[in-house]
Copies of this chain bind each other. A is one copy, B any other.
Amino acid sequence: MSHSFGPHFLHIPGPSPIPERVLRAISLPIIDHRGPEFAELARTVLAGMQRVFNTAHPVLIFPASGTGAWESAIVNTLVPGDRVLMVETGHFATQWRKLAEKHGIATDFIPGDWRDWADPAAIAERLRADTDHAIKAVMVVHNETSTGVASPIAAIRKAIDAEGHPALLMVDAISSLGSLPYLHDDWGVDVTVTCSQKGLMLPPGLSFVALSPKSIAAAKAGGARRSYWDWAEMIAFNRDGFFPYTPATNLLYGLRESIALIEAEGYDAVFARHDRLAAATRAAVQAWGLEVLCRNEQAHSSVLTAVLMPEGQDSDALREHILARYNLSLGQGLSKLKGRVFRIGHLGQCNELTLLAALSGIEMGLADTGVPHQRGGVNAAMEALRQAA
């Protein structure tokens, strides 16, 4: 029996709910992307994204979803046959690896059980062994959207440097940017990729890359055959506030608005809010007697929480019931976690009450479907939120 009337609660780890002001902004009439009004828009959002990434170097915006930014990172800096080092943090790290391999890149994939972060020491060990510097890049996912595990980017950079290895550091900040602190320049990242529909609270359709002098030089000197994803032409056009081909203008209207919203709340307040909601979510999971997928206390993501189902229970059956009965969308378990976990997004346009609504829906769903658990998750979350004030 379905009661799915009224506001939908979207608590998947992206797309995240979109603020009203952003939705209204993207519905403004289209303008000429070769005219002066557009140039001003472009300059505003390009400068704004530099602040979001904490970088003084170029940020590029592609009309594409996040996967396009990944592809851009690879084809601009690597050629078929190049070798890279990646870490199996979860489904998206694995997807990124597949994408690299489709482009002819050899991938060293440090194995993982999808419950821990990318270990700087393991990366260092591999680089140490790479005495002839065959590894051209280290590619790491900052926040694994499939598992709710966040990796220590600054420490990874330090590990690379400590080995004196020249590899580029390329980071997937798809689901972290705008939700977790991110210091592209200070952390020494060469390429960061992200997209619009997570911490930036926009519809999908924009992808971003933040560069460094080193990655720009690498692209200039080499890279694979490319056109759509080419950095050099994009950088050249951006100087005047334009793009080499038609940009997704209406989404850029929304981007201007969402950067303004983030900066009105304040970066620190945004990050603190994500931390607060994540801690409350873990408190609820613990009270239910369920297990958070992430096993590393230091690596809990403030963007999403993946919850392990008790043995023999199917997370997709639970999710379907909750969607039909309580109008709440939760994230599914991906690839090897299918049916094993559900994921609770608490990113972007979320606050205390949207989270408690979601946790209530889960707590009722667990009871409705007979999943073994204790009650009291919502109570525990309320307690955690009150104390976090």
Contact = CB atoms under 8 A, between A and B. Distances in A.
A324 to B, nearest CB: 9
A237 interface: no
A67 B385 contact: no
Contacts of A9: 353
Contact of A356 (B205, B269, B351, B356): B356
Given A30-B203, A227-B103, A353 B325 contact: no
Interface in A15-35: 15-21, 23-24, 26-35
Interface stretch (A124-132, A134-142, A152-160, A363-371): A363-371
Contact of A205 (B19, B63, B273): B63
A117 to B, nearest CB: 24
Interface stretch (A49-57, A210-218, A245-253): A245-253
Given A63-B64, A102-B227, A360-B378, A352 B329 contact: no
A96 to B, nearest CB: 10
A31 B8 contact: yes
Interface residues of A, number: 95
A205 B323 CA distance: 30
B27 A10 contact: no
Contact of A7 (B26, B351, B361, B382): B351
A328 interface: yes
Interface in A349-389: 349-354, 356-358, 360-361, 363-364, 367-368, 375-376, 378-379, 382, 385-386, 389
A352 B326 contact: yes
Given A227-B99, A273-B5, A329-B32, A204 B352 contact: no
Which 9 residue pairs are nearest across A and B when measured between Cβ atoms? A6-B351, A205-B248, A27-B27, A203-B250, A356-B360, A357-B357, A353-B357, A67-B245, A65-B246
Interface of A: 1, 3-10, 12, 14-21, 23-24, 26-35, 63-68, 71, 80, 98-99, 102-104, 195, 197, 203-205, 224-228, 230, 245-251, 265, 269-270, 273, 323, 325-329, 332, 349-354, 356-358, 360-361, 363-364, 367-368, 375-376, 378-379, 382, 385-386, 389
Given A65-B247, A353-B358, 9 more contacts: A3-B273, A26-B26, A30-B204, A33-B204, A103-B225, A204-B247, A326-B352, A327-B351, A364-B385
